[in-house]
Structure 1
Amino acid sequence: MAVILFLFRISSTPILSQTLVEPNQNFLWETFSFVFPEPVVVKLESTTNQKLTVYPAKRDGFFMVVRTLPWTEPLADKSLWMDSVFTRGIDLKAFPKTLGNLNFQVFQADQIRNQNALRNQVWIRMDAKPALWIWIQWKSDRKDLTEFFESNRFLSL
């Protein structure tokens, strides 16, 4: 009985769509336009809040999760998400970032997971309610991805 309920719960979160997005093609979600460094599969899911998940289509290297936060003040209780994102994070940094007229608080840390050196960034948009949350994780040995994400080229403004 529990297995049936578990399977029902998995299938009760509908995937709205899956789309292949080519490199440097603008992908519009909500009011944001994203650009990706290589072909990706973009999956839109309907949960309590809308959720966008991005996976590489051809090779491993990064993933991205974008969603609106249910909290009115996402920085008030960081314990809700910090432990899951930055598990044993190394050199955790937090800094503000302004892109055009958008204000973000960016959290960044390195970590070792499954024998991979990873870089994590969480971008939280500060001037909108509900807040926008972007989690990006990529392999540190992919210098092309480090340059792409740290120079903010994923947000097409």
Structure 2
Amino acid sequence: MKRLFCLILVWMGLTHTILSQTLIEPNQNFVWESFSFLFPEPVVIKMESNLQKKLTIYPAKRDGFFMVVRILPWSEPITDKNLWMDSVFQKGLSPKQFQKAINNQNFQIYQADQIRNQNALRNQVWIQMDRKPYLWIWIQWKTDRKDLSDFFESNLFLSL
């Protein structure tokens, strides 16, 4: 039993490893896997390696948002609205789905508001539709931070 437990711990370490954490300043271009991002304030980016490539982005100085960015491992993105709404937005309010073209790249965007721990939150999932590897971005921010609403809803975080 002890040996099995040790093997599980080793396997978890090999399949889910934090590669690095990086501090990025505001409006500094951050390139990852041929994708380029900007952030409205200093952030810490945690790069992880497991079965999927993944970034987790947190504000460095004050609360207000987070992002998760992944490279989708399958050959075609899953675009079933109910799948994304149910898996990402817990008790989402006013769910919406729309498309946005940015520099000749098409994104399917799923959006819903949410109340969590007495905070009003906006959630968006962006799925890149026409370039491989497919990009998946989940953004959540406090709606009382109007600066963040303007930044994310105007897609300023993508410096494609």
Same fold per TM (> 0.5)? yes
Secondary structure, counterpart of 2:155 in structure 1: coil
- Provide Cα deviations, 1:6-40, integer angstroms capped at 9, x if missing partner: 65455331111110000010000111110000000
- Of residues 48, 52, 58, the one that matches 2:51 is 48
> Could you list the per-position Cα deviations for residues 71-114 of structure 1 after superposition, in whole angstroms to 9, with x for gaps in the alignment?
33323445554323111111111111000111111111101112
**RMSD value over aligned CA atoms?**
1.9
Aligned residue number for residue 20 of structure 2: 17
What is aligned with 1:121? 124
Q: CA deviation at 1:70?
A: 2.1
**Structure 2 counterpart SS, 1:75:** coil
TM-score (norm 1): 0.90
Residue-by-residue CA offset, 1:24-70 (whole Å, 9 max, x unaligned) = 10000111110000000001111112111100111111000111112
In the other structure, the counterpart of 1:83 is 86
Q: What is the aligned counterpart of 2:42 among 31, 39, 42?
A: 39
Q: Unaligned 5+ residue runs, structure 2?
A: none
Identity of aligned residues (%): 69
Give the Cα separation in 1 of the matches to 2:64 and 2:85: 22
Distance 1:137 1:7 in 2: 31
TM-score between both structures, scaled by the size of structure 2: 0.89
Bigger shift: residues 79-88 or 49-58: 79-88
From the superposition, tell whether residues 28 and 120 of structure 1 become closer, same or farther in structure 2 (CA, over 3 Å). same
Opposite residue 68 of structure 2, the aligned amino acid is V
Q: 2 CA distance for matches of 1:33 and 1:70?
A: 19
1:65 corresponds, among 54, 57, 68, to 68
Distance 2:30 2:61 in 1: 18
Q: Rg: which structure is higher? A: 2
Q: Matched residue of 1:38: which SS?
A: coil
2:151 aligned partner: 148
SS at match of 1:25: coil
Range moving further from structure 2, 85-94 or 8-17: 8-17
The count of aligned residue pairs is: 157
**3-state SS in 1 of match to 2:147:** helix
> Can you give the 5+ residue segments of structure 1 that lack an aligned partner in the other structure?
none
